[in-house]
Amino acid sequence: MKRAVDTNVLVYVHIASMAEHAHAKRFVEAELARGVSLVVTPSILHELVHVITDARRFEPPVSMSEATSIARGYLNRTNVECLSTDERALALALDLLERHALGRKRIFDTLLAATLITHGIHEIITGNGRHFDVFEGLRAVDPLEER
């Protein structure tokens, strides 16, 4: 089984000072232990680096060196797959934006959803399930509600 993992969950996993940290980390570790392969995209890992190095969000922020090491670590795991966004995904994303009358703040999540759908991934582990509810064929799994 493959499940995508959203940036916010990776942030929870890697920032120990966050209230969601312990539960999200246990959830992801349990998924891996039961044989689930995690799916990410370059944008998810890039956003992870962006968020955890932001001094306005975390004191102290993660250093750029450590953040890139964390992101690189996902690329080197056998139980994590990094999907590329291709023309099919972009075409679907543009269609979904129009079909659901989504605004500019939904562009990233729509492209992510389209990338997952075109690669046959039907579940995403996210703390923002409402961002994905509109997309047919994609189910959001909230690690903080899966207790």
| pLDDT tens track for 97-143 | 999 999 999 999 999 999 999 999 999 999 999 999 999 999 999 99
How much is the pLDDT for 147? 47
| pLDDT tens track for 43-101 | 999 999 999 999 999 989 999 999 999 999 999 899 999 999 999 999 999 999 999 99
Query: How many CA atoms lie within 13 Å of 27's alpha carbon, on the beta-carbon side?
Result: 21
Q: How far apart are alpha carbons 147 and 64 in whole angstroms?
A: 33
Alpha-carbon radius of gyration of the chain? 15
**Strand, helix or coil for residue 23:** helix
| Across 38-43, average pLDDT | 97
CATH architecture for residues 2-83+120-141: 3-Layer(aba) Sandwich (3.40)
Residue 125 pairs with which residues in a beta bridge? Answer: 5, 141
Element housing 97 (H / E) = helix 87-99
Q: For the sheet containing 2-5, what is the strand order?
A: 80-82, 37-40, 2-5, 123-125, 139-141
Contact predicate 3/31, CB 8 Å: yes
Q: How many residues make up the chain in this entry?
A: 147
Residue 146 has pLDDT above 80, yes or no: no
Angle ∠(84,7,58) on CA atoms, nearest 5: 140
Query: 0.85 exceeded by the pTM?
Result: yes
How much is the pLDDT for 25? 96
